[in-house]
Amino acid sequence: MSGPKRILIVDDHPLYRDGLKARLAGRSDFNVAGEAGSCADGLRQAKELEPDLAIVDISLPDGSGIELTRELRTIFAGISILIVSMHAKLDFIAASFQAGASGYMSKETGGEGILQAISTVLAGGQYLDGSLSPSVLRRLNDISERKAKRLDASYGTLSLREQQIMRLLAEGLTPEEIAGKLFVSRKTVLNHRYSIMTKLGIKSPMAFVRHAARLGLIDIED
């Protein structure tokens, strides 16, 4: 039987962090394993704690919670990320999900809503605050349809690590850069690249990029 899910809170407002911790105190299904007040500290603690869920403020002193979300999803394929914000702007919400967030929650959400959001994303679902407008929901449906392209049969044969490496290669990172990001050797990255190309029937770097674009992993401008 697995233990409680581990949660990392990344928010630069101590009162908000304390409120979340108080709401989650005494739970048997998840607990707060750590907290941070900046992107840098959040990333450092995530590497140490390997949490199941990161609750991330969209605005942090040293950067954007959206960029932190993208970085966390690059390093930890299985992590769930719940963005919290005072903003209900469509662009912020859409960008959060495009970066890999599992949910978007208003900081004004009450206790039961917080628990529902956390439970939903930890169960593998997506959470969207109920106060958002229909136009936001339509935009996010478009994003979801695009992501669904990634689930074609061949892509589904790749392991989570191979999917990570495919995305990073398609974005233009070198094997050395990927090795540094994922804390593996260059040889491991090259082995994964060979496995990816074999499974997907890719014969050249250009075909690799085209395949990644078709899956929605990257955008190619006309």
pLDDT tens, per residue, the chain with 222 residues: 468 999 999 999 999 999 999 998 888 899 999 999 999 999 999 999 999 999 999 999 998 899 899 889 888 878 999 999 887 777 788 788 878 899 999 888 888 889 999 999 999 888 888 766 566 666 666 665 665 555 456 777 888 888 889 888 888 889 999 999 888 899 999 999 999 999 888 888 888 887 787 777 776 554
CATH fold match for the domains 5-148 and 152-214: no
Which pLDDT score is estimated for 141? 65
Give residue 201's pLDDT.
83
SS3 at position 148: helix
Predicted pLDDT of residue 1: 47
CATH number for the domain formed by residue range(s) 5-148 = 3.40.50.2300
CB atoms closer than 10 angstroms to residue 192: 23
Confidence at residue 219, expressed as pLDDT on a 0 to 100 scale: 64
Q: What is the mean pLDDT of the chain?
A: 84
Q: How far apart (Å, rounded) are the C-alpha atoms in residues 72 and 135? A: 28
- Tokens 């707060």 locate to 32
Pick 152-214's CATH classification: 3.30.70.20, 3.40.395.10, 1.10.10.10, 3.90.1150.10.
1.10.10.10
- Domain ranges for the chain: 5-148, 152-214
Q: Which amino acid is at 66?
A: I
Q: From 75, 6, 73, 8, select the one nearest 35 (Cα to Cα).
A: 8
Q: Which residue in 85, 144, 102 sits closest to 5, CA to CA?
A: 102
Find, among 139, 6, 129, 11, the residue nearest to 68 by Cα.
11
The owner of tokens 């628990």 is 115
Give the global pTM. Answer: 0.66
Question: From CA 188, how far away is CA 93, in angstroms rounded?
Answer: 35
- With H, G, I as helix, E, B as strand and everything else as coil, classify residue 16: helix
Which residue, among 96, 165, 167, 162, has the nearest Cα to 132 in the 3D structure? 96
pLDDT at 70: 87
CB environment 58-71: b (16+ within 10 A), e (fewer): bebeeebbbebbbb
Residues 203/209/213/216 CA torsion (nearest 10 deg): 90
